[in-house]
A and B are shown apart, each in its own frame.
Chain A
Amino acid sequence: MGDVVGESATDADLIVASLRDPQEFGRLFDRHGRAVHRYVGSRARRADVDDVVSETFVTAFHSRSRYDRTYDDARPWLLGIATNVLRHHFRSEHRRLARQRAAPLAPETGVDISEHVAATVDEVFETDRIGRALDRLDDRHREVLLLAASADLTYEDIARALGIPVGTVRSRLARGRRRLRELLVTGGQHEMDANNVSPSSEGTLE
């Protein structure tokens, strides 16, 4: 008889199944490895992405017994772990963004840059400009923005991933977008540094 959890199984089902049959956890990677890779890729150096993703899933695997089974979708949980791994992995994300600015889009894996920027020079310009603007954002706002943009998480999912109230997600996202817009407009010439925002100014908008 089969002990296999069906294709229609939720992530929670797979995680529960993996408590008995650890190999089942591999299926969770198959489902969300790409999404986590994309998110990590938006934040980590290209050379570090695989390590961070790997560490994320290994960490998730070892902590799976604590997974809240009331959530069918494990993606926010995985991205939250990835966020923590990233925090520990880098002393500052600014280092990576600064590096990217120095060699924008230069592939470190030997991939032809033209594959990535096949569109237009304007697009390259634009994305580099966004990269610089992201660089100037506060970490908290950048995390929320990148989770929303890279993984299309809902407010609730982001809240779950970061362990913060939904209202805080809304306010961080709103402030992050506003600052990003300002930075894109000013090119960062005006010191609209998000880091100047004190935590107390960040309200929750439940």
Chain B
Amino acid sequence: MIDELELVRRHIDANSDPEPDLDPIRRRLIASIEEEPAVKFPDRGYRPDGRGTRFARRVARPVGGLVAVGIAIAVVALLVVGTSSPSHRGSSTSAEPFPSQLPVGRQLQLVADRVAHQPIPHLRDDQALYTRANLSVLANVNNGAAQATVGISVQKWSTATGQTCTTLGGQPAQFNSPSEQTAWVALGLRVTPVPPTASQCLQGGPGAVPPDAITGAGQLIDVSSLPTTPTTLSQELESGTTGIPFLDQLLADQAAPNPGFQRAAMLLIGPTLRATPQMESTLYQAIALLPGVTALGPMTAHDGETGQGFASGPGSGQSTIVVDPTNGKLLEVRSLDDSDSLSSIAANYLGGGPISVNEYSAQLQWLDPIGVPSVIGLSKLPTGLPVYVFATTKPGLTYNAALLPVHRIAQPFFRYFASISSQFTVASDPNAPGVFQWSFAGPGPIVDQFMQVLRASGLFVSVSKI
């Protein structure tokens, strides 16, 4: 018996051309496409957020920090991230050559004018912003006893409510000479990280970890409080008084040249929260007002994209941004001193034997955002991502006070955890509420059951998962 839909299908089949000539239609479409200015829309949903690297200029970090990172990594489940997501990157087309002969201020004003017309999608609470970047870090160990260049890929999922998951993929260390490699290995370091990825998820809300580093898992930067006039923004970037703590603290203890430019670069790296086209346009105008900013003309990023380069000052070794002048998209940042660049992947380069690392520093050589930040539903997060459960204790119940009862509650679920539970407090204040985190291998009834138990305990003011 044939149903009505099948009859309608037959009717359509009988009345439609099985092999329609679509070329004329396609030509009309292409003609319409070509009428549009080269790049009319932005390719980025959300953008700049200054990832809060602490920007110390080659600040020596005690190895204790490295070990602590290693321990932290050991208790965090690895995110198995699919690589099927294709690049969103389109070609950098331009209807006409960018007038790079103009003064730097005029050039940046042109970019600002175009940015002002780029719409920015809204990130709802049930959505996450997915961003990717490749970066190259120069790692210096024991005051120059060994150094290597490390390539890192970063994937980040961030929600408007502050939850963030970050996955870092570490490439084999590169050396300028065999002797450098020998020195590296002699300190007990691996050439290839084991395991090759490191992941971290953090919760938002009260007590959330603020933006920390490009490679860190800090939350999105809320830029809604930035001044709306270029002059004021420029001054606040330069003096470190934007009111965004992580941004203001960058380089605060350093005699870095043109810190305003580096703070602006961090904002461009993104992603941010509550950015507007006007704010981003203002940012470019503010950069133009920073002292010493220099136009470098056409430049090619490490991934091959071409744009216009701007540096923090004349001469070599300056911090540099390469932007697509047609829409203001950041194509590359170069030469930022980011002691946190290696972040949680650093521990994966530690060898299994004796380690002689006393301190290390890291310098971000370049960073290329990959593709277009995309807004995805939380229900569409990649399969294989572990489920993280977060719980924040009620006011007055400190981390230390809650530790034992929380441990008792969680103990029956230990065998379901993807790793030993990672429990931590994010506040230096010992009286601050405790924030607890557990990771599961994947979604399932046990996760919901665990959350119910947590809520029923009466210890927590919030219990959530990502």
Chain A residues within CB distance 8 Å of chain B: 1-6, 8-10, 12-13, 16-26, 29-30, 33-34, 37-38, 41-42, 49-50, 53-54, 57-58, 61, 64-65, 69-70, 100, 105, 111, 116-117, 123-124, 126-127, 130-131, 134, 145-146, 148-150, 176-177, 180-181, 184
Contact = CB atoms under 8 A, between A and B. Distances in A.
A17 B8 contact: no
A1 B303 contact: yes
Contact of A41 (B16, B34, B40, B86): B16
B96 interface: no
Contacts of A26: 26, 29-30, 33
Given A41-B12, A105-B15, A184-B7, A8 B41 contact: no
Contact of B89 (A5, A25, A42, A50): A5
B41 to A, nearest CB: 4
B415 interface: no
A19 B7 contact: no
28 contacts: A3-B89, A3-B91, A4-B91, A13-B88, A19-B42, A19-B43, A20-B42, A20-B90, A20-B91, A20-B324, A21-B39, A23-B30, A29-B22, A37-B16, A37-B20, A53-B22, A57-B29, A61-B29, A61-B33, A105-B15, A117-B14, A123-B14, A126-B10, A130-B7, A145-B5, A146-B12, A149-B9, A176-B4
Contacts of A181: 4
B445 interface: no
Given A5-B87, A30-B26, 7 more contacts: A6-B86, A17-B372, A19-B40, A33-B22, A54-B25, A70-B375, A134-B8
B343 to A, nearest CB: 26
A48 B329 CA distance: 41
Interface of B: 3-12, 14-17, 20, 22, 24-26, 28-30, 32-34, 36, 38-43, 45, 84-93, 119, 121, 127, 303-305, 324, 327, 329, 372, 374-377, 380
A33 B16 contact: no
Nearest to B19: A34
Contacts of B90: 3, 5, 17-21, 24
Contacts of B39: 19-22
A145 B25 CA distance: 26
Contacts of B127: 70
Nearest to B22: A33
A105 to B, nearest CB: 7
Residue from B4, B84, B304 having most chain A Cβ neighbours under 10 A: B4
A5 B85 CA distance: 10
B8 A111 contact: no
Nearest to B302: A1
Contacts of B24: 50
A70 B304 contact: no
A1 B371 CA distance: 13
B377 A10 contact: no
A41 B17 contact: yes
A134 B11 contact: yes
Nearest to B16: A41
Contacts of A24: 90
A17 B90 CA distance: 5
B88 A16 contact: yes
Contact of A34 (B22, B34, B43, B380): B22
A105 B43 contact: no
Given A21-B91, A123-B14, A131-B15, A41 B20 contact: yes
A61 B33 CA distance: 8
A146 B8 CA distance: 7
Given A20-B92, A145-B4, A9 B11 contact: no
B11 A21 contact: no
Contact of B87 (A6, A38, A61, A127): A6
Contacts of B17: 37, 41, 111
B377 A22 contact: no
Contact of A21 (B86, B93, B119, B303): B93
A131 B7 CA distance: 10
Contacts of B29: 25-26, 29, 54, 57-58, 61
Residue from B24, B41, B121 having most chain A Cβ neighbours under 10 A: B41
B86 A5 contact: yes
Contacts of A20: 39, 41-43, 89-93, 324, 327, 329, 372
A146 B15 CA distance: 13
A145 B11 CA distance: 12
Given A22-B36, A58-B32, A127 B15 contact: yes
Given A6-B86, A70-B127, A150 B12 contact: yes
A130 B8 contact: yes
Contacts of B41: 19-20, 64-65
Given A1-B303, A3-B305, A54-B25, A8 B86 contact: yes
Nearest to B3: A177
